[in-house]
Chain A
Amino acid sequence: MNGSEIFGAWVAVFLTLGIFSYLYKDNPFYKIAEHVFVGVSAGYWMSMFFWTQIQPNLFGRLWPVPEGAISGFFMRTWYGIYNFFGVLLPSVFPDGGIDKGHGTHPHFIYIIPFILGVMMLLSVVSKWSWFARLGIAYTVGMAAGLRAYAFLNSNVLVQLKGSAVSFVGLDWFSLTDASIINNVIILIGTITGLLYFYFSKEHKGTFGKVTRVGIYFLMISFGASFGFAVMGRISLLIGRFTDLITYGSSTYNYASLWVLLLMIGLLAVWTFKGDKKVAS
Chain B
Amino acid sequence: MEKFLDFIVRAGSLDRRYIFVVIALVVMLPLFFPLNLPIRPTVSSQTIYDTVEKLESGDKALVSFEYGPSTKPEIHPMAIALLRHLFEKDVKVYITCLWPDGQFMAMEAIQQVAVNQYQKVYGEDYVLLGFRPGNEAVIKGLVSNFRKVYTVDAQGNFLDDIPMMNGINKVADFDYLFSASAGYPGTVEWVQYAADPTGVTMGTGTTSIQVNEVMPYVQAGQIKGILGGMPGAAEYEKLIGQPGIGTSGMDAQSVAHIVIVGFIIFGNISFFVERRRSKKY
Contact = CB atoms under 8 A, between A and B. Distances in A.
Given A52-B130, A153-B196, A232 B207 contact: yes
Interface in B111-140: 130-134, 136-137, 140
B207 A101 contact: no
A229 B160 contact: no
Contact of A231 (B20, B70, B151, B229): B229
Interface residues of B, number: 56
B186 interface: no
B244 to A, nearest CB: 12
B105 interface: no
Interface string B188-222: 11011100110000000001110110001101111
A249 interface: no
Contacts of B217: 154, 158
B43 interface: yes
A258 interface: no
B212 A224 contact: yes
A197 interface: no
A52 B100 contact: yes
Contacts of A245: 31
Main secondary structure of the interface of A (DSSP, over half): helix
Given A150-B192, A162-B216, A228 B133 contact: no
Interface string A67-111: 000000000000000000000000000000000111000000000
A158 B137 contact: no
Contacts of B158: 101
Contacts of A44: 100
Interface residues of A, number: 47
A214 B178 CA distance: 33
Nearest to B71: A236
Contacts, number: 136
Contacts of A235: 73-74, 208, 229-230, 249, 253
B168 interface: no
B249 A238 contact: yes
Contact of A53 (B72, B133, B219): B133
B165 to A, nearest CB: 12
A271 interface: no
Nearest to B158: A101
Max chain B C-beta neighbours (<10 A), residue from A57, A101, A232: A232
Nearest to B230: A235
A144 to B, nearest CB: 12
B193 A158 contact: no
A102 B191 CA distance: 29
B134 to A, nearest CB: 7
A53 B31 contact: no
Contacts of B221: 162
B72 A239 contact: yes
Interface string B224-242: 0000111100000000000
Interface of A: 23-24, 44-45, 48-49, 52-53, 56-57, 60, 100-102, 142-143, 146-147, 150-151, 153-155, 158-159, 161-162, 176, 186, 221, 224-225, 228-232, 234-242, 245
For the complex of A and B, 10 pairs with smallest distance between CB atoms = A239-B73, A162-B220, A101-B151, A232-B208, A48-B100, A150-B192, A235-B230, A228-B208, A154-B192, A231-B208
17 contacts: A23-B17, A52-B130, A60-B151, A101-B158, A101-B159, A101-B160, A146-B137, A146-B140, A150-B189, A158-B217, A158-B220, A176-B43, A232-B229, A234-B252, A234-B260, A237-B256, A242-B249
